[in-house]
């Protein structure tokens, strides 16, 4: 894989990851394709948005990001004006190249971004905490094919995507402004996507997220009490029971958790405990690519419909409790039946108590059947 860095018209960084780069080849080139050494963004430069801010909720002890400029982000454009497709004479997109393998660039409408080292005045909150939401948000385009899905991609491309996410995790973790790196994909309008083109995102948070904090607090308590790792023991229990295991490969296990919150929820764990994506071996990355595609295809077969989902990598924080963390992927969907979605109602949205209409053992059985 070859990586080449360029700059968009407004100064944002863009990175091309090419699977094939023949001797003397150029970025964005496969076979006989010919591109400029660094494709030029021919759009007029636009002003970057004002840096978003974050505020601390003293009751939940959680940070909330306020990013008003995101109200203006592109929303479900027609395919001929998709900003994630390769550029053409009729559509100068976010990607200047005429084709690509995998591309990563800074988000045009970021929730987190580089910000001036200045303070913001408080707004009358109990605890003065208002500040710039420093960090970084990136978009990762998986394929130039607008109508594809990750389940359609060859295993080699999924492996490339894993390598790209690992590379970007390592790069963002090197920033003093980043405390946690989150890689994810949203698929389907039911989830709330604003662009149909197959893509993911990467957030470099300036704090450790609430979900990670709570899980690692639990892992700390468990290790203090038992001397063992909570994630590893949970994986062992699921493998031993087998009731909810969807598929096991040489290096990974996919299972529906016993206390699944969502109608369709699958967790993918490597058998070897590692803190993050960069720590995976080549063999583990290859094996994941096969397992992940098979699980995505099984999800699409459940209701004979494209399954809307969130695919979320849980990685160790950059600087704290890395010895307790355990890299894993969480797949979840709001679809509970054909024509029926799960919405966060009173118990979930207001109190955080999930009510799942689908028994985890049932969905695990159906996913196993859909694999064959």
| pLDDT bracket for residue 37 (50, 70, 90) | confident
* Spatial separation of the C-alpha atoms in residues 164 and 170, rounded to whole Å: 10
Buried b (16+ CB within 10 A) or exposed e, 177-201: bbbbbbbbbbbbebbebebbbbbbb
Q: What is the pLDDT of residue 276?
A: 98
Reply yes or no on whether the pLDDT at 24 is more than 80: no
Comparison of pLDDT for 183 and 35, the residue scoring more? 183
The pTM of the full predicted model, rounded to 2 decimals, is 0.94
Reply yes or no on whether the pLDDT at 23 is more than 90: no
What structural domains does the chain harbor?
A: 2-209 (3.30.428.10), 211-371 (3.30.428.10)
Please report the DSSP string for 340-357 in residue order.
Answer: EE----IIIIIH-----S
Task: Give the single-character DSSP code of 86.
Answer: B
Residue 111 and residue 30 in contact, taking contact as beta carbons nearer than 8 Å: no
Q: Give residue for tokens 């909720």.
A: 57
Mean pLDDT (whole number) for 42-46: 93
| pLDDT bracket for residue 22 (50, 70, 90) | low
Note the pLDDT tens digit of each residue in 180-231.
Answer: 999 999 999 999 999 999 999 999 999 999 999 999 999 999 999 999 999 9
Radius of gyration (C-alpha) of the chain in whole angstroms: 21
Task: Give the single-character DSSP code of 306.
Answer: P
Reply yes or no on whether the pLDDT at 36 is more than 80: no
Question: Which residues, other chains included, contact 234 with Cβ-Cβ below 8 Å and sequence gap of 6+?
Answer: none
Reply yes or no on whether the pLDDT at 252 is more than 50: yes
Count CB-CB contacts under 10 A for residue 90: 7
Give catalytic status of residue 199 as yes or no: yes
Note the pLDDT tens digit of each residue in 280-333.
Answer: 999 999 999 999 999 999 999 999 999 999 999 999 999 999 999 999 999 999
* Spatial separation of the C-alpha atoms in residues 310 and 292, rounded to whole Å: 13
Mean pLDDT (whole number) for 7-25: 84
| pLDDT bracket for residue 372 (50, 70, 90) | confident
Take residue 90 and report the two structure tokens written for it: 């009729």
Q: Tally the C-alpha atoms within 13 A of residue 287's C-alpha that lie toward its C-beta.
A: 18
- Which residue in 196, 199, 314, 328 is the catalytic one? 199
Q: What is the pLDDT of residue 21?
A: 59
**Beta-strand pair 340-341/136-141:** unpaired
Q: Is 201 helix (H, G, I), strand (E, B) or coil?
A: strand
Expressed in angstroms, the distance from the first to the final Cα of the chain is 33
Q: What is the pLDDT of residue 32?
A: 35
What residues pair up with 248 in beta bridges, in sequence order? Answer: 253
Query: pLDDT averaged over the chain?
Result: 94
Reply yes or no on whether the pLDDT at 34 is more than 60: no
* Spatial separation of the C-alpha atoms in residues 16 and 186, rounded to whole Å: 21
* Spatial separation of the C-alpha atoms in residues 79 and 59, rounded to whole Å: 44
Count CB-CB contacts under 10 A for residue 237: 11
Mean pLDDT (whole number) for 262-281: 98
Comparison of pLDDT for 278 and 129, the residue scoring more? 278
């Amino acid at each position: 894989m070859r990586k080449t860095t360029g700059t968009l018209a407004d100064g944002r960084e863009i990175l091309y990851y090419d699977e094939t780069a023949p001797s003397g080849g150029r970025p964005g080139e496969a076979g006989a394709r010919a591109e400029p050494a660094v494709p030029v963004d021919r759009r007029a430069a636009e002003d970057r948005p004002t840096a978003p801010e974050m505020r601390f909720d003293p009751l939940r002890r959680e940070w909330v990001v306020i990013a008003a400029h995101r109200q203006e982000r592109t929303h479900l454009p027609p395919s001929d004006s998709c900003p994630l497709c390769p550029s053409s004479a009729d559509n100068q997109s976010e990607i200047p190249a005429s084709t690509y393998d995998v591309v990563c660039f800074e988000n045009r409408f970021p929730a987190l971004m580089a910000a001036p080292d200045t303070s913001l005045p408080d707004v009358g909150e109990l605890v003065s905490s208002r500040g710039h939401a420093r960090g970084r948000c990136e978009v990762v385009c998986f394929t130039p094919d607008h109508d594809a899905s990750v389940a359609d991609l060859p295993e080699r491309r999924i492996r490339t995507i894993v390598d790209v996410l690992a590379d970007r995790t390592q790069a963002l973790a090197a920033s003093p402004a980043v405390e946690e790196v989150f890689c994810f994909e949203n698929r389907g309008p039911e989830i709330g996507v604003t662009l149909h083109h197959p893509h993911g995102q990467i957030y470099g948070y300036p704090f450790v997220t609430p979900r990670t904090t709570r899980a690692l607090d639990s892992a700390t308590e468990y290790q203090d009490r038992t001397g063992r790792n909570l994630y590893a023991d949970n994986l062992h229990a699921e493998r031993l029971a087998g009731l909810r295991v969807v598929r096991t490969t040489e290096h990974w296990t996919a299972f529906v958790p016993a206390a699944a919150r969502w109608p369709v929820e699958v967790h993918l764990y490597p058998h070897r405990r590692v803190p993050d994506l960069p720590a995976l071996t080549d063999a583990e990355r290859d094996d994941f690519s096969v397992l992940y595609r098979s699980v995505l295809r099984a999800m699409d077969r459940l209701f004979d419909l494209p399954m809307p989902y969130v695919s979320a990598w849980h990685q160790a924080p950059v600087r704290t409790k890395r010895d307790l963390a355990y890299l894993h992927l969480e797949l979840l969907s709001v679809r509970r039946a054909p024509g029926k979605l799960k919405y966060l109602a009173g118990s979930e949205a207001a109190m955080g108590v999930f009510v799942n209409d689908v028994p985890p053992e049932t969905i695990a059985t159906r996913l196993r059947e859909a694999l064959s």
